[in-house]
Structure 1
Amino acid sequence: MIASLRAAGGDTTEVEVKSAAGGLPASLTAILSALANQPGGGTVILGLDEQAGFRPVGLGDPQTLKQDLAAKARAFTPPARLTIDDGVVDGAPIVVARVHECDRSAKPCRVTATGTAYLRGYDGDYALSDVEEQGFLAARRPPLFDRAPVEDATVDDLDTELVDAFLATVRERDPAGLGHFPDDAELLRRGGVTVAGGQPTVAGLLALGVHPQQWFPRYVIQAAAQPLPTDSAATRARNQVTISGSIPRMLDTALLWARRSFDTAIVSEPDGTVHDRPAYPLVAFRELVANALVHRDLDHWSAGLAVEVRLRRDRLVVSNPGGLYGITVDRLGRDAVASARNATLVAIYQHVRSPQTDARVIEALASGIPTVTEALADHGLPPAHYVDSGIRFTVVLHQPTTVTNATSAEPELSAAERRVYQALTGQGRTVNELAEQLGLTGPNLRKTLRNLRGRGLVAQHGGRGRTTTYQRTNP
């Protein structure tokens, strides 16, 4: 864990490090609440200095720190559950506290004295709002909101073009199942688009509606880009838009926004062709926005919240109300788990296509995250950073950090290449060892290692029946 923190250069959403040289820091109150509310919980490490590369500070009395931690755990409602252990880093003692996730039926975990609960975001801990608290309460029961009929809506509020395409696709791809119903109205009802009498459901209106925002004004995408350095000081944002319509039409419009907003480089390929290369791969952006639209929370508490897309100078952030459902962050892209918060909406969207590109909106095959991972690696970008606060899910894509490699004639490394390079030691590491330490997949690691080998920074040893290891050429 410490090696991963040093490679990343900072805390993560799952791990918080404090020096605690003068005792328990006051900020630990918010941290313990936030980690208890976070899916999977987290870990607090006391006795390391983050600013000094996570080196030990030399705890004078670890036993007192452990006792103070145990006492502090009782200052929450419900009490925070901790497993506290001793550890050793570089020969010095540290204290490691595993913060267990609070039971879903008791969330949120609050500071008893103030009644405040905290959430952990990709950019820090923050106090829970009243609306977000409703999200935790709503999560105590199965999400069925997408099945409900929409009051005052009629079949005339469905988009004829989208409905016709949906019916044709169902009958082509599922002729023995849903597609075997010859009557259009019956097929729409049995497919969850409408209820008896033709009234659209929430899922049906979002998927195939003419203008769902007539009933759900905030079921939109709010996108904006950070001002450029050349913009005036009064410029607060650029390319700021609110994207409305049915989900497939919102997705198409979001891609148009990305093409206008992403920086673009002119790149020449080895075969001599020249093309534009956006700062972020559009296929990855499409997958992330589609997931945000289809898997966002649809319950009453989140009715005032939009899907948000924020383009910063060094990162792209896509966020939606509602945390992961049926899967945890550490399993994203690793297990073939196709969980669905909005099961009816997902079932409809397996047969919905983009009006502009005729591409499927989603596949429901758990292939979206691997597609994002592969696209980012092909683009030379670091892996996506996924943050699940329990009631909000955020994905952060980072631009590579250009650094100077003092031990090599090659001057520049991407962030992913730098992480792998720094993790290599003089005796060499296997792909499995690097994958476990850095949290990267084998294919991405092998591609990064090939790039480093091609630049003469890494040497490969073994192969042909022997263990294959990699090490720096200049350890």
Structure 2
Amino acid sequence: MEPKVRPLFTVCEDELRTDKRAKLEDLNSNALHLYFAKIRESKAQLAALEDERILALQGIIQEGQPTVAGEMLFGIYPQSLFPQYSIMASVVPGRKVGEIGSTGERFTDDKRIEGTLAQMLDEAVTFVIRNMKRKLIVDENGKCAVGSEYPVKAIREAVLNALVHRDYSIHTENSPIRLLMFDNRIEIENPGGLYGRGTINKLGRVDLDTRNPYIAGALEIMIDSGKRYSGIPAIRYEMSANGLKPPVFESRQGVFKVTLYNEVLSDRKDGVTDDAIIAFCAVPRSREELAREFGFSTPTYFLKNHVKPLVDQGKLALTLPNTWVRFMPACRCPAPGADAASGKRKARCQSCAAEWIRSSPESCPADRIRGPRKAGRPASAGPRW
């Protein structure tokens, strides 16, 4: 007797299951008429078939009853059968759930989004647009334009990905899609991790297995959702084109999550930001520590292209002038003024956040962590970039 061979994964047909409460009257007739017109135009093989036959072949009905796919695509109110097949959208006043706003609120906006897949897609994108920050952009010619915090196309593709590829099995009927907006990012997570043989590293680079092919195929016809497998590359492209940090994709414990950050990257191709370098130098760092932290094998290129511009702009300073020892954020002390009580000059140093009494205008509060200049290199020579 030959041993049974276990398949790599079990083919999922949860979108084709039916609920005994579902009826054909639950489906929106106007939406079906539009669908029939589009599918007959795009698929010649189905043009001569009767409506009911088309619905059966496209997974909309099974044995005269609407399937999960049919309800979610064309239902008058799909949540009457599946209340949690919805989107829970919230805006958090901070960077983690639980932080409280200035007036004690946990969420500055909170909404349960319901309807068909197409309706939830539109409403979720509208929710994000309503709560996004706006920025005024002035070009070289002095013309002004209003920019958004996140590219709308990336948001749409991320929400669409969650709706199409979520798990529609009975095991997730109590699990909605979650959309959370934080101060620095948006998280969109759906029940159901990566399906089939897919891995995070393969996302957007190879054609992966589709959990819900009937839903995906119907949306391609109904709302022009684009070529299948193009969603992840589109998200990556839109974030890059807008100069934002690359999206992060995670799949663990039966949940798939997309995180979009609003952090603007520099124009450099390596993606290292000025803010990241300055933050790392909150504690004085050596050239070797800087290069190693940002993934450069040798410090020469990194120092020339990243650190030197910050020093020239006064955003970083050498802890020992004109030498290669360590870097720290530049001291931003205001011009010293006279202290009437002591007769000494007094200024506030933002680098150390403390009041310093200075006996002469030439000294700097940051001298507290500076030592005597390292011998062996003349002051006039300057650092080697």
Same fold by TM (over 0.5)? yes
Structure 2 unaligned blocks of 5 or more: 1-5, 267-272, 279-289, 311-383
Indicate which of 385, 395, 401 corresponds to 2:248.
385
Deviations 1:215-248 (A, max 9, x none): 0000000000112699434201011000000000
Q: Which residue of 1 aligns with 2:354?
A: none
In structure 2, the CA distance between the partners of 1:374 and 1:152, relative to structure 1 (3 Å rule), is same
Asked if 2 retains the 8 angstrom alpha-carbon contact of 1:193 and 1:203, the reply is: yes
**Cross-structure match for 1:167:** 36
**2:200 alignment partner in structure 1:** 329
Q: Is the 8 A contact 1:267 1:275 kept in 2?
A: yes
- 2 CA distance for matches of 1:375 and 1:400? 14
Q: Which moved more, 1:214-223 or 1:277-286?
A: 277-286
Q: Does the 8 Å contact 1:247/1:293 carry over to 2?
A: yes
> What's the CA shift for 1:268?
3.0
The aligned amino acid for 2:171 is: W
Q: Which moved more, 1:217-226 or 1:146-155?
A: 146-155
Decide whether aligned partners of structure 1 residues 196 and 300 sit closer, same or farther in structure 2, where only a CA change above 3 A counts: closer
Q: Which residue of 1 is the match for residue 281 of structure 2? A: none
The 1:401–1:169 alpha-carbon spacing in structure 2 relative to 1, beyond 3 Å, is closer
Q: Compared with structure 1, are the counterparts of its residues 331 and 185 closer, same or farther at alpha carbon in structure 2 (3 Å cutoff)?
A: same
Seen in structure 2, the aligned counterparts of structure 1 residues 383 and 194 have a Cα distance that, compared at 3 Å, is same
Q: Cα distance 1:421–1:269, how it changes in 2: closer, same or farther (>3 A)?
A: farther
SS in 2 for 1:350: helix
Contact 2:157 2:231 in 1 (8 A): yes
Aligned partner of 1:395 among 255, 258, 272: 258
Distance, in Å, in 2 between the alignment partners of 1:375 and 1:428 is 32
Q: Which amino acid aligns with 2:60?
A: V
Distance 2:165 2:112 in 1: 19
Q: How does 1:203-282 map to 2 (within 5 A)?
A: 203-227=69-93, 231-270=101-140, 273-282=143-152
Bigger strand share:
1
Note if contact 1:158-1:205 (Cα within 8 Å) is conserved in structure 2: yes
**2:18 pairs with one of 146, 149, 152:** 149
CA gap of 1:411–1:272, structure 2 versus 1, over 3 A, is same
1:380 partner letter: G
Q: Cα gap change, 1:349/1:412 in structure 2, threshold over 3 Å: closer, same or farther?
A: same
Q: Distance in 1 between matches of 2:43 and 2:208?
A: 19
Retained in 1: the 8 A contact 2:245–2:265? Answer: no
After superposition, the C-alpha distances for 1:53-99 in whole angstroms (9 at most, x for unaligned) are: xxxxxxxxxxxxxxxxxxxxxxxxxxxxxxxxxxxxxxxxxxxxxxx
Identity between Structure 1 and Structure 2 (%): 26
Alignment of 1:33-112 (within 5 A): none
TM-score normalised over the length of structure 1? 0.53
1:152 match: secondary structure: coil
Structure 1 residue 301 corresponds to structure 2 residue 164: no
Distance in 2 of aligned mates of 1:330 and 1:303: 29
Larger Rg: 2
Find the counterpart in structure 2 of residue 371 from structure 1: 234
- TM-score, normalising length: structure 2: 0.65
In structure 1, stretches of 5+ residues that fail to align are 1-104, 106-138, 354-359, 404-409, 430-451, 458-473
In the TM superposition, residue 196 of structure 1 has moved relative to its aligned partner by 3.3
Amino acid at match of 1:423: G
Q: Is the 8 A contact 2:61 2:67 kept in 1?
A: yes
Distance 2:117 2:75 in 1: 9
Distance 1:411 1:287, change over 3 A: closer
Change (3 A) 1:387 1:277: same
User: How many residues get paired?
Assistant: 281
